[in-house]
Structure 1
Amino acid sequence: MKSKKILYLVNADWAFIVNRLPIAIEALKHGYDVHIACAFTGREDELRSYGFTLHEVPFTRSGLNPFVEMATVANVFRLIRFLKPDLIHAVTIKPVIYGGIVSRALRVPAFVAAISGLGFVFTSDTMKASILRRFAKLAYKFALSGKNIKVIFQNTFDRNTIQAAAKIKDNNIVMIKGSGADLDEYSVSTPPVGTPVVAMACRLLKEKGVFEYVEAANKLREKGIDCKFQLIGSPDYGNPHSITDDQLKQWQHEGVVELLGHRTDIATLFSNANIIVLPSYYGEGLPKVLIEAAACGRPVVTTDNPGCAEAVVNNVTGIIVPARDVDALSDAIELLINDEILRTQMGREGRLFAEKMFDIKAVVQVHLSVYKQLLLNVEVHV
């Protein structure tokens, strides 16, 4: 029997590795012929080493040049027409919209759309965002109106927003809280003693709350609070809202936060920290770093931003503060710095929460069940 062909459409190879790799590996084990279409950023050989077939599609995550975007849609169209996949799993805004529209045009048998955050278009109150939001809603409505489709959401705000805009039926919606964490890799260890370490890990974008984090660190230093602040991550040069190299040089000169750059040993870094912070007001799905922090048994300070708030049980596994509120952010961090018992208790509850909600094994199995259901629907209607 011929293997069913799955095509993943995703912005970039590194994003697939961070968020979807375990699902694709398990799909291979179940006999699927797995293809990945994405922009290449130097990680493509790593993906090929697992046995996936790769196709380059130069998605631009933030670009709005209509000629470039039309060329990308044409690229997606040619690829799908050539591959004739049995199922497409599209991840993030452009792959979902472009993949959904092309899938309907070419009558792809099954389509999975993963809405992992809505981005600035749905969270910004600027005139530009307002105009783009109208077009995005129409695009989502057309892309997500296929007959044999499942739409995966990570938080209720995204679900309610897109369901209303695209008129998605309830039975076509699947809620999966984030991309999961390997609970063996992100294991609990005894928190370090001595000067408390506060860590923030993210793509260095303004909307991730990087400026607010550094300002909170400044406030606590001025108050004489004994703590060490780390900033983990690198600028995202393809995003116009990226932190600049000049800004990083200034922070490095000031010495308020330790800049660790891009790192792949997040589990170790979180285990060596006492508190994890993400003051984001970005259009998050459900931030992976908050899942990883909980899995490591570390308390979290984050915002009431959709997605972030659903990764935390407020005052149980961490503290939720208003977005863009530096005073509230610094107060919450100070509270945890000064209360080791509270830190320990929240960390313990965070691990239990991760075991219940974020185990990567469970996340993978839900995805494979979605694939199986959609492909069975195809066979029934043949």
Structure 2
Amino acid sequence: MKVLHVCALGATAETLLLPQIDYLRSQHLTVDIACSPDSAVDRLQAQGYTVHPIQIDRKISPLLNFKTIQGLIQLMRSQAYDLVHVHTPIAAVLGRIAAKLAGVPTIVYTSHGLPFHQLTPPLQYQMYFAIEYGCAKITNLILSQNHEDIETAAQKKLCPESKLVYLGNGVDIDRFSRSVLDSDHQSRLRDELGIPASAKLIVGTVGRLTRTKGSGYLIEAAAQLVEEFPQLHILVVGGELKSDPEPYYHQLSEKIEQLNLKSHVTFTGDRTDIPEMLGLMDIFVLATFAHEGLPRSILEAMAMSVPVVTTDIRGCREAVLPGQTGEIVPSQTSTPLANALRPLLADPDLRTAYGAAGRQRVEAEYDENVVFKRLFSFYQDLGIASAT
């Protein structure tokens, strides 16, 4: 059986989808990828993956979107895929339309957070819901990373409930484990990054450097805490993409300058050694106010036994247990974030307890192998894979 996974960015395929693609290939499925050309595509092709570079813009642009659909139709017809599996908002819409027009028999959509949510402006909410409603009609199965989206979709009658199932999200609990850390390497890593020796309390965040991930609120919270905790340092892991609709690095840098925090903040840019990055942190923060499915960065931090402070956003509030593995605060405000960080910064035993509970939660609920097996069982139900 032949499967095509469609997403906007090669980086998404490389960092988020590749483990599940590897698992599906191990189950004797032929799995190709279609995404926009970038350096990640070159790396994947060099490793032997079949990747079809097709420009998929991450914004609504009728002419460019039409060209994308044309390219996907041509690919899908020429390769005669049995199933097309789509990811990420715009790519998921264009991929499903193309798959339907190309006559692909089975279409699956993994929702990495439905694009209509509690913080969506009303007109956008209506537009996004209408688009998802139309696409749901041509989708055989919608896989959700969190339970809340399933409840919302059912309540709003997005589609028949039989099309909605829980997939979840997971991480490699062997790779993301404190047992992988080497103390000498971690010391050298601090030096390489230029983290000052005075930085004894490191609060970090991981993700693409965009406004909606909320790193600006983390910086504002740090400004409220640094006098009380002069050893505080903020570690921002991740960079911008040329295709990001809202570049944010310069704006965030200006905020850091204005708040006199330059000596308390380190930008790492894009990194592949995320376990080691998390190993430097005493607390992990994701101050997002974007649409989230179930943020893998939170799961990775918990797997590394790092306590988490995040926002009261769908997906985030499902992953973190307040008062057990971390804390949950309102989004788009910095003072509650600072107030949640304060007791954790002051109490190493509390950090240790939260971190240990987070690791236990990931082992019990978010092992990626469980997610892969769940996905494969859905494929079997759709007739794409043989029952074993």
Question: TM-score scaled by structure 2?
Answer: 0.88
Aligned length: 369
The answer to whether the Cα contact below 8 Å between 1:110 and 1:375 also exists between their aligned partners in 2 is no
Question: Does the 8 A contact of 1:177 with 1:357 survive in 2?
Answer: no
CA-atom RMSD, angstroms? 2.5
Partner of 1:71: 67
Deviation digits for residues 280-308 of structure 1 (CA, Å, limit 9, x no counterpart):
11111111110000101110000101111
Name 1:346's counterpart in structure 2. 354
* C-alpha deviation, 1:203, in angstroms: 0.8
Q: Tell me which residue corresponds to 2:280.
A: 272
| Aligned partner letter, 2:107 | F
Find the aligned partners of 1:366 and 1:203 in 2 and give their Cα distance.
28
Q: Distance in 1 between matches of 2:252 and 2:357?
A: 36
Letter in 2 for 1:177: G
Match of 2:330 in 1: 322
- What whole-Å deviation, never above 9, does each CA across 1:345-367 have from its counterpart, x for those lacking one? 11110000000111111111111
* Residue matched to 2:193: none
Asked whether 1:199 is paired with 2:207, we answer no
| CA distance 1:8–1:143, change in 2 (3 Å) | same
Q: Is the 8 Å Cα contact of residues 232 and 264 (structure 2) preserved in structure 1?
A: no
Secondary structure in 1 matching 2:242 = coil
Letter in 2 for 1:304: D
The residue number in structure 1 matching 2:267 is 259
**Hey, what's the Cα distance between the residues in 1 that align with 2:87 and 2:157?**
17
Of stretches 225-234 and 357-366 in structure 1, the one that deviates more from structure 2 is: 225-234
The aligned residue for residue 22 of structure 1 is 19
Distance in 1 (alpha carbons) for counterparts of 2:217 and 2:143: 31
Matches within 5 A, 1:215-226: 215-226=220-231
CA deviation after TM superposition for structure 1 residue 70, in Å: 1.5
Ranges in structure 1 where 5+ consecutive residues have no aligned partner: none
SS of the aligned residue for 1:240 comes to coil
Q: CA deviation at 1:102?
A: 2.8
Name 2:241's counterpart in structure 1: 236
Counterpart contact for 2:60–2:90, Cα < 8 Å = no
Q: Is the CA contact (8 Å cut-off) linking 1:25 and 1:50 kept in structure 2? A: no
Residue number in structure 1 paired with 2:146:
155
Could you say if the C-alpha distance between residues 156 and 277 of structure 1 is closer, same or farther in structure 2, counting changes exceeding 3 Å? same
Whole-angstrom distance in 2 between the partners of 1:125 and 1:96: 19
Aligned match of 1:100 in 96, 99, 102? 96
CA drift of 1:91 comes to 0.6
Please say which of residues 43-52 and 183-192 is displaced more in the overlay: 183-192
CA–CA distance in 1 between the matches of 2:81 and 2:208?
32
* 8 A contact 1:300–1:317 mirrored in 2: yes
Q: Matched residues in 1 for 2:177 and 2:329: separation?
A: 26
Change (3 A) 1:86 1:320: same
Map 1:20-99; keep pairs closer than 5 Å: 20-61=17-58, 63-99=59-95
Q: Identity rate of aligned residues, in percent?
A: 27
In structure 2, the partner of 1:139 is 131
1:99, 1:143 within 8 Å by CA — same for their partners in 2? no
Three-state SS of the structure 2 residue aligned to 1:342 is helix
Distance in 1 (alpha carbons) for counterparts of 2:172 and 2:305 = 13
Matched residues in 2 for 1:247 and 1:118: separation?
Answer: 27
**Deviation (angstroms), 1:231:** 1.1
* Deviation, structure 1 residue 246: 5.7
Q: CA, structure 1 residues 144+41, in 2 after alignment: closer, same or farther (shift >3 Å)? A: same
CA contact (8 A) 2:202 2:235 kept: yes
Letter in 2 for 1:241: E
Change (3 A) 1:377 1:203: closer
Q: Deviations over 1:221-258 (max 9, x none)?
A: 13344322211111233223231336436637832311
- Give how far 1:134 is off: 2.9
User: Bigger shift: 369-378 or 133-142?
Assistant: 369-378
Cα displacement (A) at 1:136: 2.7
Instruction: Tell me: CA distance 1:224–1:270, structure 2 relative to 1, closer, same or farther (3 Å).
Output: closer
Given that 1:7 and 1:87 are in contact with CA atoms closer than 8 Å, whether structure 2 keeps it comes out as yes
- Could you say which residue in structure 2 is the equivalent of 1:368? 376
Q: Is the 8 A contact 2:221 2:338 kept in 1?
A: yes
Deviation at 1:90, TM superposition (A): 0.5
CA distance in 1, matches of 2:215, 2:318: 20
Aligned mates of 1:44, 1:226 — CA distance in 2: 41
2: CA distance, partners of 1:166 / 1:46: 41
Return the alpha-carbon distance in structure 2 between the equivalents of residues 352 and 378 of structure 1.
34
Superposed displacement of residue 166, structure 1: 5.9
Residues 311 and 226 (structure 1), Cα distance of their counterparts in 2 relative to 1, 3 Å cut: same
Match of 2:250 in 1: 245
CA offset at residue 146 of structure 1?
A: 3.5
User: Are 1:171 and 2:167 matched, yes or no?
Assistant: no
- What secondary structure sits across from 2:7 in the alignment? strand
Would you say the 8 A contact 1:98–1:143 is kept in 2? no
